[in-house]
Structure formats: C-alpha cells, structure tokens
Amino acid sequence: MSDKRHILLIDPDAKARSATTRMLISAGYVVGLATDLATGISRVNEDFDLVLVSHPGDLSDMSTVRTLLQLRGRKQMPVLVLSTSHDCRRLRNRLLAPGVKAISRLGCLEEIRHLERITSALGDANRKQSEARAASDTTRPPAVAVMPRMFLDQGERTPALASREDTWTTDTLAQLRPDETLKPGSVVDKYRIEALVGTGGFAHVYRVTHLVLSMSCAIKVLKRSLATSRPDVVANFCTEARNSIRISHPNVVRVHDVTKSPLHTFLVMEWIEGVSLADILSTTGRLPANDALRIGIAMCAGLEAAFAQGMIHRDIKPANILLANDGAVKLVDFGIAKDLNLAPKVGSSPDSATIVGTPLYMSPEQAFAPETVDCRSDIYSLGATLFHACSGRPPFQASDPLHILAKHRDAAAPNLASLAPDCPKDLCAVIMRMLAKKQIDRPASLAGLREHLQELLDAMQTDGTDASNGWSSVYLRKSKKAVEASG
C-alpha cells in the first residue's frame, strides 16, 4: 500500500459521488466506491483507513446507527456521515455513536485532514490497541477507555503524575519478564512488594511497604510492554498523577509520587484498608439509605475539591469509590479527568473532544456532546451510582455499551421509588433529579447537592448500621455467609 490514505466512499447519488471522488483524488487520496450500504459493508475490511457515507436516513433509529457501526470494520475505522449543514445542526453535536460522526459535506476535506493529523498510522495504532486488549485481564468491570478522538476501546484506563527519573535494581529487572507481575518480597526502588491487589489491561496494582518510612502504600505499575512501546499510554499515565496531586482532600485518594524508569513507570498513592463500593454491591446487592447518603455526601465533598482545581472527574462509578475500614469514603482514579484550566490545542475543534467514561454511569452529554461536560456531568454519574446503591442495579442496562449510551440519552430512568420502596421518597426524588437528561434540570452545584443530602441524613433515624463500624466488616460477613451457603 502507498503512503496515500485509502477512503471508502458510499453514496447512491451518482453526481454527488463523482464530485466528492474528484475532490478527494485531487487532494491526494485513493478512493474506493460503493453505491449502497450493503456493498459498503462488504468492502470495509479491505485496505481502507476511513469511511465516508452519504446521509443514510433516520439517524435517531438505533438500527441505522448499528448499520453505520458495521462500517467501522475490523480495524474500527472512523465513519464520517456526509450531511447538509442544516442536518448537522439538527444532530446531537454531530456525534452519532462512538467512532461515527456527522459532518457537513461541504467541509468534509477539512474534517478528514483534521482527523488524519490525530490518527496518523491508524492501522498500527489499532493493532497495538488490539494487542493490549488481548493481553488484558478482565478482573475489573469494563469501561470506555481514553481514545484518540472518536475511537472506542474496552478495558481499564491508565492513571498518573509528574515524573522523575529513578532506576530499578538490576536484579528486579532481570527477574521480570514483560508484563510479569512482581513477586511478594521483591524490592523496587524504595518499596517492598507485599501483594498484588488488582490488575487490568494497562497496569498492575500492588500493596507495598515504604522501606524508609515503614508505611503501607499502593503502587500502580504500568505494564512493561506498554511503558516501552506506547508513549501515548505513558503520557496518559502521567496525566492522572498530575490531575490527582493537585487535589488534597480527605475524600480523595492522595497520590504521592510517580517514578519513571527506562523500562517501568509507576505511581505511588495512599493505601486504603477497605473495599470498593463495587465490592460491597456485588456481595450485598444494595445499601441502606443512610449509607448511600454518607457516600453521596463524601463524593460531593471530594468532587467539590476537584472542581475547585478545575477538574471534572468523568468516571464516577462504584469501582472508583473506596470505603475504608474506619468509615472514610474516598474517590480514586483521575485518569480521564478533564482539566478546565487547559486551553484548547491549536487546530482542535469542539467536535474533536474525546469520549471517555463508563457507559453504565455516563451522562448523555459525556457520550454525545463531550466538550460540554461540567460538574453536572459528575452529578449525573454520582446519581447513577447512588441509584445502583439504593436499588441494587444501575439505572440503564443493555447487552452492549452503545445501547446503554442511547438509553442514557433517550430513555426515562426507571422509578427508583418503585425499585426501592424502602428508600425515603425525598432521597429517591433527589437521585432522580440528578439523572435528568438536561444539565440545567440537575442540581446546579456540588455544594448545594451536598447540603441537601446532609439535610436528608440529619432527618433520618439511624437503623443501627453506621459507617463507623467499618464498611468491610459488613462486606466480609456477607462474603462468609455466601461461601458457607455455597459449600
């Protein structure tokens, strides 16, 4: 294949097809043609880098969107839908689905060139993503990961912090094959590995002991295969740490440091003795209302501190909420946070915003108008999390992420009061308001929401279950009963 980009053009209108083809060829592209969607789908796995398709009809119809997604093929190419400028204004910010975007036919060449700058060497990038997915562990819930512009990937994202150069011991490096986990007792820099506590597609998490301070910490180690071959992943890793280190609050897990060596990169954060809300819900199913309120209040406080630094978390979910044995509630993972302090990059446009988050808890605007996210987007995700905590299930469920995202955008949330009849009506009402489709219809501020939740908690009569007793004690009792029942 030559260095020229290969574009598949699907257009039933002979005149428009001919004009677009001439324009693309004169701009240096190689063009393949199809006169209908069926023919286009049959050709998508040929050597193309991008698909241009004429407006196929009702873009609010999920079957139409599914057809467009088929055009992405095995390489998950971007699909650009050619529409009139009027059509584009009617569409939801022109982003129809992950990797599928409506653009003006008149401005398609400019859009292609903009996309090309971001997705150069597209085939190589997708192959590397596929290799990372194939090697990944699926021990954590899937999430929509950080992606260049319009690309959707499944797996754990990576986190991070401003780096300094440090070296690993020769013995450690010699014993460690690519992506092999570190053995308990081994020493890395000034940390002794105690146990592997989690793993994902990009990194391993360990409980460690600081050899000088004799304190427990957690380190998140980027997989070697990625650290040595994917500078973009390393950059994302460092982004989380830079985001996290700016936030000092008792309801946010503290990131202390990052170490970057020629072969490995890891960040150091405080160690929390406890469990995640996801662990609790997987065992208990749901929480008492007063516990859900305590979590909501703590998350509002932590997110307030983040927002004061110009940060939008964008991935509030049960797995990112840690419940300590002493009753503390901590927010973790700012790997995909949006920094409102950063000016847009030169040459970028609102439509180039990245889609990130976890579909089960993602706000409509985060999926379909990502450049418009603000603190109310985190409020929506917190509402979806509290809905899950109170009812035992997320507000929207489906067999694939696309359907879930569409439900967040188009479907009314189930009535929480019906799913959780013992949940106080006032709490149900505020959670349902947090799940409003439009940002303007949600609570306007985190501070106001926190105060409202605190008022509800103050008005409640305790039912004997108090966070100060330790979250994990409840979790462990339930786990033990489950094991005994199965045995």
What are the residue numbers of the active site? 315
Residues forming a β-bridge with 266? 221, 259
Three-state SS letters, the chain: CCCCCEEEEECCCHHHHHHHHHHHHHCCCEEEEECCHHHHHHHCCCCCCEEEEECCCCCCCHHHHHHHHHCCCCCCCCEEEEECHHHHHHCCCCEEECCEEEEEHHHHHHHHHHHHHHCCCHHHHHHHHHHHHHHCCCCCCCCECCCCCCCCCECCCCCCCCCCECCCCHHHHHHCCCCCCCCCCCEECCEEEEEEEEECCCEEEEEEEECCCCEEEEEEEECHHHHCCCHHHHHHHHHHHHHHHCCCCCCECCEEEEEECCCCEEEEEECCCEEEHHHHHHHHCCCCHHHHHHHHHHHHHHHHHHHHCCEECCCCCHHHEEEECCCCEEECCCCCCEECCCCCCCCCCHHHCCCCECHHHCCHHHHHCHHHCCHHHHHHHHHHHHHHHHHCCCCCCCCCHHHHHHHHHHCCCCCHHHHCCCCCHHHHHHHHHHCCCCHHHCCCCHHHHHHHHHHHHHHCCCCCCCHHHCHHHHHHHHHHHHHHHHC
> Quick one: which of 332, 445, 348, 355 has its CA closest to 409?
355
Q: Can you name the residues that pair with 32 across neighbouring β-strands?
A: 8
**Of residues 42, 102, 59, the one with CA closest to residue 78:** 102
